[in-house]
């Protein structure tokens, strides 16, 4: 649960990106910063008004002239007094101003510490706090819109609604323990069986929306593999819409993994072009091939490129056989401009793993739309406006809650139900949901989450 105790001493950091700019901001958060502001500027700040001020060094000389804003507690981002000092955006000036704030008793803020204080002071729950970082890091417009929905509390409200229903069901389960001879009839009369089924359905709806949000947050890691000279670099250039990779007819041109991030319909795709997979005596090429297999092990999806003139040969089958068993893959028959084929998609299964074969030309762009659609299909993307940004830990918490909810339902439907186990599984399902918003979260997890924020936020 959020802790309303006021942390001290004040913290300070440069809140604008490194480098030169027209305006730079130093942010300070702490207890009773009005006196702090007087020592820095010689004047008492007006609440929530931008006032012009001279920022002074210890000897009274001016560091800079700019604007000062004071947000008194509790009506501030962190729930504490917050000062924003807007000066000229040169790195020397900003560091001098930050240094003066440290001289006045502030300490340098840790990554994410302003947002962490907002969480601890009850201004944001944990899902909203994470959405702050996701909004900053959003690489597509769709990801930014989804992060704003989570920041506004839409994700949290959905979780709270589920938690409230679970609380009611837990109260009902606890009440039945006082009437052991009539407990099942009591639960039937209270519609417990239908209520737990409805809960499960709503939980699955939220999981589906969160899975889409996870795609927006982290994207899809795609690795291009195949033998030398089948057009992997050409396909990377086509997908990226730029000449990122060197393309020549000489096998082995690409000797190291080349990464590029693009987007398809708002989904970030992190694509890695790898060295051609073949037996070689070239030491440099061997290193590139080893790195290619490392990239494959970390991939969400692989595209195996073939030369359409030769089809799937023994060497290609050997590559497929070495792929991780459950790793999705698409076979791309490239160079159809040389075979006079039309672009087409053919879906099929291989050893239980659904795959697709797409015929394209990386040179002319034929079949690109089919390939992009297949990538989104395998990713599980469904374009929607009700997605909230989500992280791996959110998906895990939702999966854990669904597991305990299923266990509770199975206990209720068994021939000899143990109501104590039913109630305990409901409690565990509720705790799993509470981890998302932070009502039930270990301190070490908080440290991990906020350490990934930028300094000054």
Closest CA to 377 of 336, 344, 347, 333: 347
Rg for the chain (alpha carbons), in Å? 28
Q: What is the distance of C-alpha 213 from the center of its chain?
A: 8
Span(s) in the chain for CATH 3.30.1360.120: 11-124
Q: Is 287 left (phi over 0), alpha (psi -120 to 50) or beta?
A: alpha
| Cβ–Cβ < 8 Å for 226, 277 | yes
Strand order in the sheet with 62-71: 51-56, 62-71, 81-89, 21-30, 11-14, 107-108
Strands, E, within 265-376: which ranges?
267-273, 301-307, 329-334, 344-350, 353-359
- Which residue bears the tokens 């398809």? 264
- Euclidean distance between CA atoms 394 and 372, whole angstroms: 27
Q: SS3 for 53-70, per residue? A: EEEECCCCCEEEEEEEEE
- Euclidean distance between CA atoms 279 and 287, whole angstroms: 12
- Asked if CATH classification 3.30.1360.120 holds for the domain at 11-124, the reply, yes or no, is yes
Would you write out the chain's pLDDT as a tens digit for each of its 457 residues?
A: 445 454 568 999 999 988 888 999 999 999 989 999 999 999 888 899 999 999 999 999 999 999 999 999 999 999 999 999 999 999 999 999 999 999 999 999 999 899 999 999 999 988 998 888 888 888 778 888 888 888 888 999 999 999 988 888 887 777 676 655 555 565 666 677 788 888 999 999 998 888 888 877 778 888 888 887 888 888 888 887 655 544 444 444 444 456 677 778 778 888 887 766 656 656 666 677 777 778 788 888 888 898 989 888 888 888 888 888 788 888 999 999 999 888 888 876 555 455 788 998 988 889 888 988 888 887 777 666 677 888 888 999 999 999 999 998 888 777 776 778 888 899 999 999 999 988 766 666 667 667 777 777 7
Span(s) in the chain for CATH 3.40.50.300: 219-379
Superfamily of segment(s) 219-379: P-loop containing nucleotide triphosphate hydrolases (3.40.50.300)
**Polymer length in residues for the chain:** 457
Helix (H, G, I), strand (E, B) or coil at 345: strand
The 10 Å CB-count burial string (b at 16+, else e) for 375-407 is bbebbebeeeeebbbbbebbbebbebbbebbeb
Supply the CATH classification number for the domain 135-215+391-437: 1.20.120.430
């Amino acid at each position: 649960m959020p802790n309303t105790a006021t942390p001290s001493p004040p913290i300070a950091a440069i809140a604008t990106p490194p480098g030169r700019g027209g305006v730079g901001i130093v942010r300070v958060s702490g207890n009773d910063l009005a006196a702090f502001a007087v020592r820095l500027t010689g004047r008492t700040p007006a609440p929530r008004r931008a006032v012009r001020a001279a920022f002074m060094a210890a000897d009274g000389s001016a560091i800079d002239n700019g604007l000062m804003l004071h947000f008194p507690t509790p009506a501030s981002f962190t729930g504490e007094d917050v000062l924003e000092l807007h000066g000229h955006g040169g790195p020397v000036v900003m560091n001098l101003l930050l240094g003066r704030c440290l001289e006045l008793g502030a300490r340098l803020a840790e990554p994410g510490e302003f947002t962490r204080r907002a969480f601890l002071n009850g201004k944001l729950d944990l899902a909203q706090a994470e959405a702050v970082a996701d909004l900053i890091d959003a690489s597509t417009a769709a990801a930014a819109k989804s992060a704003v929905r989570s920041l506004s509390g839409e994700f949290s409200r959905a979780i709270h609604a589920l938690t409230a229903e679970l609380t009611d069901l837990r109260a009902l389960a606890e009440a039945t323990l006082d009437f052991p001879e009539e407990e099942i009839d009591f639960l039937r009369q209270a519609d417990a069986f239908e209520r737990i089924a409805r809960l499960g359905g709503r939980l699955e709806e939220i999981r589906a929306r969160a899975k889409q949000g996870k795609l927006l947050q982290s994207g899809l890691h795609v690795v291009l593999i195949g033998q030398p000279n089948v057009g992997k670099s050409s396909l990377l250039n086509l997908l990226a819409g730029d000449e990122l990779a060197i393309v020549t007819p000489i096998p082995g041109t690409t000797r190291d993994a080349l990464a590029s991030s693009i987007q398809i319909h708002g989904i970030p795709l992190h694509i890695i072009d790898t060295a051609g997979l073949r037996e070689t005596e070239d030491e440099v090429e061997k290193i590139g091939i080893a790195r290619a297999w490392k990239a494959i092990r970390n991939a969400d999806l692989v595209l195996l490129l073939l030369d359409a003139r030769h089809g799937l040969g023994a060497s290609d089958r050997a590559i497929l056989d070495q792929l991780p068993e459950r790793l999705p893959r698409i076979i791309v028959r490239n160079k159809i401009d040389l075979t006079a084929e039309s672009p087409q998609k053919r879906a099929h299964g291989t050893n239980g793993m659904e795959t697709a074969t797409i015929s394209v030309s990386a040179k002319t762009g034929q079949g690109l739309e089919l390939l992009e659609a297949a990538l989104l299909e395998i990713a599980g993307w469904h374009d929607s406006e009700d997605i909230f940004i989500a992280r791996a830990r959110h998906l895990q918490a939702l999966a854990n809650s669904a597991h305990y909810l299923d266990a509770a339902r199975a206990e209720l439907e068994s021939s000899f139900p143990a109501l104590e186990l039913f109630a305990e599984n409901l409690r565990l399902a509720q705790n799993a949901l509470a981890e998302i918003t932070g009502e039930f979260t270990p301190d070490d997890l908080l440290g991990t989450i906020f350490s990934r924020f930028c300094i000054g936020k």
